[in-house]
């Protein structure tokens, strides 16, 4: 098990209890996302954490596979639906790489607050592209700290080495868009919430 997964396993209970940082922006992102979801869609979310967003979207689509690399996160997500299962919603311990056998299986993929935690977000974007059907939609929310807090990088690196925080990749909005476009996505929607300027909410579609 890699250090990052261990970190998220350790933090899962705390993460489940934490309040949403910017509830207004979160609500708006849910609403915008739902403009792109339809009842006949098969959706996959990676890095779903304890499943809060999956619970909101799953009732609106045909199937919703919510995955996370951390088994503890998925345990908590499953507990949340134990008493009232949602038809079509399944939680699985997996990374998108583990789903490689499901090429072109999904109409939409969500990756919320996760791309900046990866050493190679471009490889992940290419993996997502392969899991999407032509014309499929990728909805992401990503901290772009290279634009907003570049001076934090040495502190983030030290905190990671001391096992205090997960690995954080200092991405820029431009780099993220470039990676999406060079993987064959077209950007459909971009938003930086006013009160949480670190994050970049992007909706992109795969070429048909």
Ligand X SMILES: C[S@@+](CC[C@H](N)C(=O)[O-])C[C@H]1O[C@@H](n2cnc3c(N)ncnc32)[C@H](O)[C@@H]1O
Q: What is the footprint of ligand X within residues 62-91 (CB under 6 A)?
A: 68-70, 73
Considering only 4, 63, 81, 172, the residue that binds ligand X (CB under 6 A) is 4
Which residue's CB is nearer to ligand X, number 17 or number 208?
17
- Which residue number places its CB atom closest to ligand X? 49
Which residue's CB is nearer to ligand X, number 115 or number 135?
115
Q: What is the footprint of ligand X within residues 19-58 (CB under 6 A)?
A: 46-49
Size of the site for ligand X (CB under 6 A): 16
Question: 127 and 100 in contact (C-beta within 8 Å)?
Answer: yes
> C-beta of 8: minimal distance to ligand X in Å?
3
> C-beta of 28: minimal distance to ligand X in Å?
14
> C-beta of 22: minimal distance to ligand X in Å?
12
Dihedral sign for Cα atoms in the order 16, 35, 111, 69: positive
Residue 140 touches ligand X, criterion: CB under 6 A: no
Which residue's CB is nearer to ligand X, number 98 or number 207?
98
Site map for ligand X, 92-131, x if CB under 6 A?
---x----------------xxx--xx-------------
The residue whose two tokens read 């499943």 is: 51
199-206, strands of its sheet edge to edge: 89-93, 63-68, 42-46, 106-112, 132-143, 199-206, 185-191
Site map for ligand X, 149-188, x if CB under 6 A?
----------------------------------------
Residues that bind ligand X (CB under 6 A): 4, 8, 46-49, 68-70, 73, 95, 112-114, 117-118
């Amino acid at each position: 098990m890699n250090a990052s997964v261990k970190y998220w396993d350790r933090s899962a209970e705390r993460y489940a209890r934490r309040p949403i940082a910017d509830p207004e922006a979160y609500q708006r992102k849910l609403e915008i996302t739902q403009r792109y979801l339809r009842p006949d869609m098969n959706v996959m979310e990676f890095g779903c954490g304890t499943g809060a967003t999956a619970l909101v979207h799953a009732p609106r689509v045909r199937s919703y596979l919510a995955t996370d690399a951390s088994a503890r996160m998925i345990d908590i997500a499953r507990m949340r639906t134990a008493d009232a299962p949602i038809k079509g919603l399944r939680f699985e311990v997996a990374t998108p790489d583990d789903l490689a056998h499901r090429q072109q299986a999904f109409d939409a993929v969500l990756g919320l607050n996760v791309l900046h935690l990866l050493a190679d977000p471009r490889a992940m974007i290419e993996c997502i592209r392969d899991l999407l059907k032509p014309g499929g939609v990728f909805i992401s929310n990503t901290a772009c700290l290279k634009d907003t807090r570049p001076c934090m990088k040495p502190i983030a690196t030290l905190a990671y080495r001391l096992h205090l925080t997960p690995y954080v990749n200092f991405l820029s909005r431009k780099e993220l868009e470039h990676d999406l476009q060079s993987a064959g996505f077209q950007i459909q929607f971009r938003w930086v919430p006013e009160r949480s300027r670190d994050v970049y909410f992007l909706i992109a579609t795969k070429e048909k």
